[in-house]
Amino acid sequence: MEENNNNTVHASDSVDKSRIVEAKPLRSLAPVLPNHIQSCFPANYPSGFPPFCSFEKPREIPIPKGVEEIAVDAKTAEEIPGSAKEKTRETPVAANVTPIRFYKSSVDEEVNPRGGGDVNLFSKGLNCDEFVDDRVKRGAQNIQNCKEFLKRKKNKKTREAGVDGQSSSVGVNPSLNDDGNHESVNHVLMTFDSVRRRLCQLEDSKELNSSLSIKRADLRASNSLTLKGVKTNLRRRAGAVPGIEVGDIFFFRMEMCLVGLHGQSMGGIDYMSIKDGSKEDTVALSVVSSGVYGDDTEDNDVLVYSGQGENFNKKDKHVTDQKLQRGNLALDRSAQRHDEVRVIRGLRDATNRSAKIYMYDGLYKIQDSWIERGKSGGGIFKYKLVRLPGQKSAFAAWKLIQKWKSGSASRNGFILADLSNGVESIPVSLVNDVDDERGPAFFTYFMSLTKPKPFGLVQPSLGCNCKASCLPGDLNCSCIQRNEGDFPYTANSILVSRKPLIHECGTMCRCLPNCKNRVSQTGLKQHVEVFKTRDRGWGLRTLDPIRAGSFICEYAGEVIDRAKVCQNDEGDNDEYIFDTSRIYQPFKWNHDHGLLGDGSSNVSSEDYTIPSPLIISAKNVGNVGRFMNHSCSPNVFWQPVLYAENNQSFLHIAFFALKHIPPMAELTYDYGFVLAGHAEGSSAHRRKMKCLCESPKCRGFFG
């Protein structure tokens, strides 16, 4: 493999290295494209890495002309909600002076005392197993009691919890209860999904041990959060909802309830009555279009929405017309008042057909309404909602992406269909619609680590004896034992909790390669693409909606030792280093104490345990992970994963979605940074990069 260094640009050459360099672009190495490209390795290269891999010759790639142009905002600068410590007030956007804390251990325990006294029925201080056993013993009656208890308490608690200062450790800052912001919305959503994942984990593991099941983890999680006041935007309102952006995605109706986007848990039309002077009036707030009921969704900016009400009277078996009441009346009134109505578009997830995804598509106004005859002959109200101009493209962009993927629409700046050259099972497209650079510098695409060093802490596992696939709750499985009895992933391969270390099954295990405990070894599962950012070189973004906890990819590359990093620092600065020993901003991803009351150990620590630092260079060898840019408010985090190959255990770095990530959002993680004076080699030569993430929490630099 030949590396042509003459063509690479060294940003450091003419710059004083002791200063923070304005690294622009971050990855601006000129493309070194061989004359010939041939993909000459199988998709599953057995060992080592493919001898050769590159891009197609750029000239040969046709650039579609006159392609439909679409402004897709790939900006993702979002905040970390999980930095559990509640800020008493918003810090003004003084980005570059944010103080940094220099510790890795969690500070949440100290600054964030648990709210006492506010314990729900599920919380009895039992550990996980006891909790389950206890529930089994008491059986259905206990469940019933719980339900009734919840029902009685709910209305009161919802309001009180936020005002009660003691519950602020898990709840939402009281002032944000009625009117939220970006941070409170994020906090609620992340907490919800974390609790939900944990409930799914309990449910999965119980299948073997008992007959009692946790049905509808979404409802249970919602219940739990409501009791603790973890809600925001409780004040019902028409128009935009603070902290929620056009294009945001949701995976459960309850998520939209909890953040005030759509108040109905099932109903399609959310509305409220208002006082207009002395008159009482009713107005529509939001509608959810699930694609059923024959809603017309042909035009992306128009939604023809059907009113509510059955066309068939079950009692006397009559065909009936819909009536101008409830939601229908509200839509009618909103039309006359020219009020804005929020529209949420629902679609079945293409990759996971059982799941439904909801996307907030912004504000619409009702332009027309009429009555149609339904199939049964009953009258159905129809409302024509038209999208207000000037909003970010959301649903339209999503639909366009489907066309890109199916090949029925061409696109601007398209360079290459699959940068991985068949290594990944899902093609990784390469696009540049900002300038004429034709691709990143040459590298070899490989999905995992080369030259890995055996992991010292754990002696090589003999592997588990499970047949076919390891099953959650099977405590005889040695891999599950290593994970402290918890199966790390849910049935649909979502990571449940961040952990010091995750043990996956490896080649020594008897289970098959499709075992659920090998999530990080299976390559890309999402459609992602490498694209040119405006000011940060090449980046990685997703075409698919991604659920929080989804596996993104491994950080692939060559395992190197520290001496080599120094060498690189002196010479060609290696921008593709991943180093576990850097300082990373602590954050909390697992659910808060007290929300479940299961006393489970998974909330105790998110501090990674890595005995000796793992340093990976993806400069010459790597996968899509090397293209992920840094952000101080990332949407992806890394997690150490351990599994065995050929009698030895190796540590890998796996990336998971920190929160739900909408289509076209850039994927970013925290690069961490090296302490001044602690840098490898001479600190004078250690260059920090100026951060361009534009997040309000930006600390100004990284690396």
Residue numbers at the binding site for DNA (CB under 7 A): 147, 150, 154-155, 213, 215-219, 222-223, 226, 236, 252-254, 257, 263-269, 271-273, 282, 287-293, 295, 305-306, 308-310, 326-327, 346, 353-356
Q: How far is the CB of 290 from DNA (least distance, A)?
A: 3
Q: Choose among 418, 572, 601, 408: nearest CA to 500.
A: 601
Mind giving me the DSSP string for 9-53? --TTTTS-TTSPB--SSTT-PPP---S-----S-SS--SS--S--
Decide the pairing of beta strands 429-431 and 528-532.
Answer: parallel
Q: How far is the CB of 240 from DNA (least distance, A)?
A: 18
**DSSP code, position 575:** T
Q: How far is the CB of 215 from DNA (least distance, A)?
A: 6
Decide the pairing of beta strands 668-669 and 629-630.
Answer: parallel
Q: How far is the CB of 150 from DNA (least distance, A)?
A: 7
Vertex 603 angle, CA 213 and 227, to 5°: 60
The dihedral through the CA atoms of 596, 598, 599, 605 has a sign that is negative
Q: How far is the CB of 125 from DNA (least distance, A)?
A: 24
Q: How far is the CB of 462 from DNA (least distance, A)?
A: 34
Q: How far is the CB of 517 from DNA (least distance, A)?
A: 20
Q: Which is nearer to DNA, 25 or 327 (CB)?
A: 327
Dist CA 361 CA 251 (whole Å): 15
Please answer whether residues 441 and 29 qualify as being in contact, where contact means their C-beta atoms are separated by less than 8 angstroms. yes
Q: Which is nearer to DNA, 137 or 154 (CB)?
A: 154
Q: Which is nearer to DNA, 94 or 266 (CB)?
A: 266
Instruction: Tell me if residue 519 falls in helix, strand or coil.
Output: helix
Q: How far is the CB of 656 from DNA (least distance, A)?
A: 20
Dist CA 685 CA 702 (whole Å): 15
Q: Which is nearer to DNA, 215 or 451 (CB)?
A: 215
Q: Which is nearer to DNA, 115 or 268 (CB)?
A: 268
Please answer whether residues 545 and 599 qualify as being in contact, where contact means their C-beta atoms are separated by less than 8 angstroms. no
According to DSSP, the residues that pair with 38 across neighbouring strands are none
Q: Which is nearer to DNA, 382 or 690 (CB)?
A: 382
Dist CA 398 CA 403 (whole Å): 9
Q: Which is nearer to DNA, 89 or 315 (CB)?
A: 315
Decide the pairing of beta strands 449-450 and 557-560.
Answer: parallel
Q: Which is nearer to DNA, 358 or 555 (CB)?
A: 358
Please count the other Cβ atoms lying within 10 Å of the Cβ belonging to residue 66.
Answer: 7
Dist CA 639 CA 614 (whole Å): 12
Q: How far is the CB of 548 from DNA (least distance, A)?
A: 15
Q: Choose among 84, 69, 236: nearest CA to 172.
A: 84
Distance of alpha carbon 118 from the chain centroid: 30
Instruction: Tell me if residue 400 falls in helix, strand or coil.
Output: helix
Dist CA 261 CA 243 (whole Å): 10
Q: How far is the CB of 158 from DNA (least distance, A)?
A: 7
Q: Choose among 187, 92, 95, 74: nearest CA to 541.
A: 74
Please answer whether residues 696 and 91 qualify as being in contact, where contact means their C-beta atoms are separated by less than 8 angstroms. yes
Q: Where are the beta strands (DSSP E) in 522-647?
A: 528-532, 538-542, 551-554, 557-560, 577-579, 615-617, 621-622, 629-630, 636-645
Q: How far is the CB of 204 from DNA (least distance, A)?
A: 10
Say if residue 634 is preceded by a cis peptide, omega within 30 of 0.
Answer: no
Q: How far is the CB of 456 from DNA (least distance, A)?
A: 41
Phi, psi of 249, rounded to the nearest 5 degrees? -120, 155
Dist CA 81 CA 87 (whole Å): 11
Q: Which is nearer to DNA, 38 or 265 (CB)?
A: 265
Q: Which is nearer to DNA, 39 or 469 (CB)?
A: 469
Please answer whether residues 331 and 354 qualify as being in contact, where contact means their C-beta atoms are separated by less than 8 angstroms. no
Q: Which is nearer to DNA, 346 or 452 (CB)?
A: 346
Q: Which is nearer to DNA, 167 or 649 (CB)?
A: 167
Q: Which is nearer to DNA, 421 or 550 (CB)?
A: 550
Q: Where are the beta strands (DSSP E) in 200-332?
A: 249-250, 269-276, 279-289, 302-306, 312-313, 318-319
Q: How far is the CB of 303 from DNA (least distance, A)?
A: 8
Q: Which is nearer to DNA, 271 or 578 (CB)?
A: 271
